[in-house]
Chain A
Amino acid sequence: MTRQTLSKILRPIVTLVVMILVWWAITAFTSLPPYMLPSPVTVAQALVAQQQTLIGATATTFSEIILGLAAGTILGMALALAMVFSPLLQRWLMPLLLLSQAIPVFALAPLLVLWFGFGMASKVVMAVLVIFFPVTASFFDGLRRVDIGWLDLARTMNASPWAMLRHVRLFAALPAFGSGLRVATAIAPIGAIIGEWVGSSAGLGYVMMNANARIQTDVMFAALSILSVMAIVLWVIVDRVLKRILYWAPDTIGVP
């Protein structure tokens, strides 16, 4: 293992350990009551004690996020492609898309729960609402801003409009799409968790609401820590996959 990869692995571990130490110090050396801020040890105990509940809740929330991310990405890509194909559609669609983002998901959540029920569907819809827009916006931008020279060249080679889309625009737009997908992945849990807060019978958000009502702050923290680990792991996976796909568009930061 080289020194660089070693430090790459060590850095997040050091950050994590330091953060937990600070957290522990605050609980140990101040007189904050545990229901305000439980110590890391209590949270760890809660994690173990509530294992069964937490595992089930994690599976639910994880499924919601993954389904939302998949559906949101597909919807986002489809909308961007549709708008590239038809300027007319773009003029009609764009205000709607902006409207969908102007209304806070929080405000929509009760309605969505009413329409799609207490189950997973309403959470997935909410996640999709949060996720699709960054994907659409960035992918659409990428598809539009293709080097005109690449397109001219393709046209002199008698490429059909379909071939230009498939072989030129799609690839050229991939880096922009990647940025959108990274943002979408980072905010994906928002939709699911909000949905669970507003009305649900399962999931990490539901566990947190319940624990909050019973002042089980340690359980809240346990659920929260699982949620953060999940969000980070998901982001790292998406980032890795994108880097693999975009091998031809490397980071130029750090290159001398």
Chain B
Amino acid sequence: MTIADCPGIVIEGLTLRFGERTIFQNLDLTITGGQFVVLLGTSGVGKSSLLKIVAGLSKASAGTVRASDGKPLQGRIAYMGQTDLLYPWLTVVQNVMLGTRLRGEKPNLDRAMELLKRVGLAERAKALPMELSGGMKQRTAIARTLYEDRPIVLMDEPFSALDTFTRSRIQELAAELLVGRTALLITHDPFEACRLGHHLVALAGHPAVLGAPILVPGQPPRAPDDPHLLETQGHLMRVLTELETE
């Protein structure tokens, strides 16, 4: 897949209300095709709800989400949740091929094994999720996401449950394997955001609004001691604090 094929995401006037409470209001965001964008926000600010709306899993109170090429988004999105969401009754390789199983299509075992090799789990293909460590489960989830081969990948803090070092390795793996796809990752971790994103956007306040996109120089995944990363991280902390207190 080339970057030119990859649709971007256009979010316009997105508003979410639960009864009287407005979670976020009038969000506008354009994600260029093939870019890795990280949406950063404190917990409870509506990040997950926003991602679910983009994924078509729940409805917004107002506003639209569409693909930049005008075709429907549905069927072109792969989703990674806050936990690995592996089905415990399926083996690792069956989990990777979940999409074809659910759609009643013929599974592509060669492709699944190839992807498992890329995430370093080819030997554990027949294991059950309960036999895996947290990092291995998350790597399986990445292989499952790639197996779907969708141009847009949405990620809801998929690495937050991992320990620091495992997280760092999985972040790098995800960044490498998702090159060329349009990716939207939400996280509460400025460090993760600065490592992985081409662009960062902060979501903060009550009701929440989006900050101006921040461009991080250099290509992700950035080294943990990358000076750009450290500088942006500091800047980001300031922006978030300002948005929260406004």
Contacts and interface: CB of A to CB of B under 8 A. Distances in A.
A250 interface: yes
B128 A157 contact: no
A9 to B, nearest CB: 28
B98 interface: yes
A153 B81 contact: yes
Given A156-B55, A156-B56, A149 B83 contact: yes
A163 B83 contact: no
Contacts of B52: 152
B88 A249 contact: yes
B148 A149 contact: no
Contacts of A157: 98-99, 102-103, 148
Nearest to A174: B89
A248 B78 CA distance: 26
Interface string B132-152: 000000000000000010000
B102 A149 contact: no
A149 B85 contact: yes
Interface in B108-151: 128, 130, 148
A248 B89 contact: yes
Interface string A127-167: 00000000000000000000101101111111110011001
A93 B75 CA distance: 37
B87 A163 contact: no
Contacts of B98: 153-154, 157
Interface in B24-61: 52, 55-57
B237 to A, nearest CB: 30
B106 to A, nearest CB: 15
A167 B130 contact: no
A163 B79 contact: no
B103 A159 contact: yes
B136 to A, nearest CB: 16
Contact of B102 (A152, A167, A248): A167
Contact of A155 (B57, B130, B148): B57
A88 B128 CA distance: 38
B104 interface: yes
B114 to A, nearest CB: 19
Nearest to B100: A157
B82 interface: yes
Contact of B87 (A155, A158, A160, A168): A168
Given A152-B52, A156-B77, A171 B89 contact: yes
Interface in B8-26: none
B108 to A, nearest CB: 14
Nearest to A167: B102
A156 B78 contact: yes
Given A156-B56, A156-B79, A150 B102 contact: no
Contacts of A163: 102-104
Contacts of B77: 156
B79 A152 contact: yes
A152 B81 contact: yes
Contact of A149 (B75, B81, B89, B128): B81
Interface in B175-223: none
B55 A167 contact: no
B103 A167 contact: no
Interface string B59-102: 00000000000000011011101110101110000000011011
B166 to A, nearest CB: 20
A169 to B, nearest CB: 11
A150 B87 contact: yes
Residue among B77, B85, B128 with max Cβ neighbours from chain A (10 Å): B85
A153 B52 CA distance: 11
Chain A to chain B: the 7 pairs with minimum beta-carbon distance, closest first: A159-B102, A156-B79, A157-B99, A248-B89, A149-B81, A248-B88, A149-B85
26 contacts: A147-B85, A149-B82, A149-B85, A150-B85, A150-B87, A152-B57, A152-B81, A155-B56, A156-B55, A156-B57, A156-B77, A156-B78, A157-B148, A158-B74, A158-B75, A158-B102, A159-B103, A163-B103, A163-B104, A171-B87, A171-B89, A248-B88, A248-B89, A248-B128, A249-B89, A250-B130
